[in-house]
Amino acid sequence: MLDKTQIAQRIAKEVQNGQYINLGIGIPTLVANYIPDHLEVVLQSENGLLGIGPFPTEDKIDPDLINAGKQTITMVKGSALFSSAESFAMIRGGHVHLTILGAMEVSENGDIANWKIPGKMVKGMGGAMDLVASAENIIVAMQHCSKDGQSKLLKECSLPITGIRCVKKIVTDLAVLDILPEGGFKLLERAPGVSVEEIRDKTEGRLVIHGEIPEMDFG
């Protein structure tokens, strides 16, 4: 199975030149460390920063420079700082090409639940609902199963929904999967050492398998 950094490394392969990209809290923030050098992309944070760089080394930490997850970050040449109101105007105006989010559940129709667990205190959904409603493309980074071994790729989400029919691709610690237009998880790649049978056993929703499924390539 993949660790969190490997999930981020694999997702970085989905990034395309010229994109404006929002990275959600958790695993998605790690993607900033793996953007290929030959690509020119702009990373956006909804607290009001355009032009996020890799995480800082110890000698480059600036406590006043943080992303939406309160992590210290760096800025690249040409970065801009502005109010969160302007940041959300950018998001809601459809100017973010790709959003990479974490999730607690994803349904086979592309619904996502990623902001609330009933009975637990939360401060709100943050920018997730705006992002999933506005981005051109949404990729989810998540663990395939919960800590108790239950699948998080479901027929229908059981937790409060963040967005409906919005997820396009999922990268888990076991697999890379597309959401089909008619519904269902199409298996594209499997993690090194992980079998198709294990992925099938740990996916509650409809899993679609066509031909031989290759192992992930991080090159």
CA distance 100 to 138: 6
Which single residue is written with the structure tokens 């800590």?
Answer: 147
Number of residues that this document lists for the chain: 219
124: confidence class by pLDDT, cuts 50, 70, 90: low
| Three-state secondary-structure class, residue 132 | helix
For the cut 70, the answer to whether the pLDDT of residue 85 exceeds it is yes
Give the whole-angstrom CA distance, residue 199 versus residue 203: 6
In tens, the pLDDT along 52-61 reads: 988 899 998 9
User: What are the beta bridge partners of residue 99?
Assistant: 22, 138
CATH superfamily of 4-208: Glutaconate Coenzyme A-transferase (3.40.1080.10)
Q: Are 160 and 170 in contact (CB under 8 A)?
A: no
Q: What is the mean pLDDT of the chain?
A: 93
pLDDT at 122 over 90: no
172 or 29: whose pLDDT is higher?
172
Please check the confidence at residue 191 and state whether its pLDDT lies above 70.
Answer: yes
Using a pLDDT cut of 90, give the percent of the chain over it.
Answer: 78
Which comes out higher in pLDDT, residue 66 or 123? 66
**Are 177 and 142 contacting, i.e. CB atoms less than 8 angstroms apart?**
no
pLDDT at 33 over 70: yes
- The whole-number average pLDDT for the span 89-106 is 95
Confirm whether 46 is a catalytic residue.
Answer: yes
User: Which pLDDT score is estimated for 5?
Assistant: 95
pLDDT-based confidence at residue 49 (cuts at 50, 70, 90): very high
Domain ranges in the chain?
A: 4-208
Bridge partner list, 175: 190
HEC readout, 147-174 = CCCCECEECCCCCCCCECCCCCEEECCC
The pTM of this model reads 0.93
Q: Residue 120 has what pLDDT?
A: 74
Residue 47 is given by DSSP the state T
Indicate which residue of 40, 46, 105, 189 is catalytic: 46
